[in-house]
Structure 1
């Protein structure tokens, strides 16, 4: 099989497969490095990035470089733009998060909405007599100019819509349809005290929860791809080797068949020649 593997065509295929495997290894290393940075950054204390207007553009994506870091914002809460986000479990309690729009004045004179998760409270405290969530039972936001401090988080994936002031995710695509634009693409999870609400716990965003495992999975996939390329080359060598053995076997069988046919033609001729001689002697 070694002689087959050293043939020029298969050596060229090997070079191609090795190049593909090296490329997969580099991509796997890159994904692993991203996962390692994400995990390391979570072990460190959140960085204070300053005013949200200097950190994130309106409508700009919340990247892994800033997600979970601390920002500040100044503006005015709009009590009419507030939703309850149910279905959370915080500190072993069925919890509901209160999200309110903070109107932030931009440098160009316009105003943008910044969703702020002001805090959470037990779901029972905002459940009406009919057993459904009642947004009117949530603590109202403070009035006037306020300063907010919290973690910048990426929008959660939108699945269901907002009905009666109740949502299942903190999803800015849903909120912009409900409240209007312009709006920041992420939201701020408030870490400072708010009347009637407990501060938000760390990392409610599905983006920040899953990114490290996602990158680790990608790294494993690239390693498997690289191993598969080498497997293909080995399979190609084995197939070529077996094909050569089959060709040699067929050639040998043809030679043996040819010898057998020649021997059978000679035997009857000898027999027929001997018969008249025997008759003549008699």
Structure 2
């Protein structure tokens, strides 16, 4: 099979497959680097980014480069713009997150809404008599101007709406429908306990916890693609080798069948034209002939 692999046609195909494999390797390295950088950024506990106005503008996406960093914001809370996010598990407890809109003055003088996860409480602390979370039991936000510091997180994916002050995700597309706009695309998770709430844990966003696995999955896919190109070349060489081997076997069998077919013909010709020598003569016939000749004379 090595002779087949060294033919110019297959060597050219190998060169093409090697180039494709190298491209897949570069793409896999790029995805791995993205995943590694994202994990480093998420593990940076005290990575301060500065004021929210200097980091991101309302409506802009929260990218990997700023996600998880500590930002500051100054503004005032609106107690009428507050939702509860139940169904979380934090520090081994069933938790409910309290999210309130912070009105922030932007550089152009307008006011934008910044969703702030002010903290969380045990689910039982805000559960009403009907067994459902009651927004009225949540700690009210402080009044007046406040300074907020916390981790900047990307919006979670929206799967359900907001009903009676209860949301299933911290999703800014849903909050815009409830509170209006302009609004920041991400939210801030307060990293210290305040206002009767417990501090938000790092990387509470489902987006941030899932992005690393997504990049790692992409890297693995590119590695598999690269291996597939090399396997495709090997399979092509092997198929050509087996085809040629089968062709040679078929030619050999044809020659053997032809050779075996000539023997009966030769034998048949010998039967039609027998060779009679002295050893093959019948002495009886010769004697009788001699006697007849003698009697005739």
| Whole-angstrom distance in 2 between the partners of 1:40 and 1:186 | 20
Unaligned runs of 5+ in 1: none
Is 1:148 aligned to residue 148 of structure 2? Answer: yes
Residue equivalent to 1:207: 207
- TM-fit CA distance, 1:46: 2.6
SS in 2 for 1:183: coil
- Match in the other structure for 1:127: 127
- Secondary structure class of the residue paired with 2:35: helix
Judge conservation of contact 1:148–1:192 (CA < 8 Å) in 2. no
| 2:42–2:67 Cα contact (<8 Å) kept | no
SS state of the match for residue 53, structure 1? helix
- Provide the residue aligned with 2:46 in structure 1: 46
User: Which residue matches 2:74?
Assistant: 74
Displacement of 1:275: 11
Alignment of 1:162-177 (within 5 A): 162-177=162-177
Residue 3 of structure 1 deviates from its aligned partner by: 0.6
Corresponding residue SS for 2:273? helix
Deviations 1:117-171 (A, max 9, x none): 0111111111111111111111111122221111100111111211111011111
Q: Which position in structure 2 is the counterpart of 1:190?
A: 190
Kindly state the Cα deviation for residue 4 of structure 1 after the two structures are TM-superposed. 0.3
Aligned residues: 281
The 8 Å contact of residues 68 and 203 in structure 2, kept in 1 or not, is answered as yes
Counterpart of 2:289 in structure 1 is none
Contact 1:176/1:183 (8 A) holds in 2: yes
Deviations 1:169-200 (A, max 9, x none): 11111111222221111000012443121121
Q: SS of 2:87's equivalent?
A: strand
CA distance, structure 2, for counterparts of residue 52 and residue 39 of structure 1: 22
TM, length-normalised to structure 2: 0.88
**Aligned in 2, Cα 1:43/1:189: closer, same or farther, shift over 3 Å?**
closer
Q: What RMSD in Å do the two structures reach over aligned CA positions?
A: 2.1
Q: CA deviation at 1:262?
A: 2.6
Moved over 6 A (4+): 275-278
Secondary structure, aligned partner of 1:167 = coil
Further displaced range: 50-59 or 191-200: 191-200
Consecutive unaligned residues in structure 2, runs of 5 or more: 286-297
Larger Rg: 2
Offset of residue 265 of structure 1: 2.3
Residue pairs, 1:19-34, within 5 angstroms: 19-34=19-34
Could you say what secondary structure the match of 2:262 adopts? helix
Q: Distance in 2 between matches of 1:257 and 1:154?
A: 77
Post-superposition CA distance 1:53-80 (Å, at most 9, x none) = 1101211111111111100111221111
Secondary structure of the corresponding residue to residue 230 of structure 1: helix
Measure the CA separation in 2 of the matches of 1:46 and 1:15: 49
Q: TM-score, normalised by structure 1?
A: 0.93
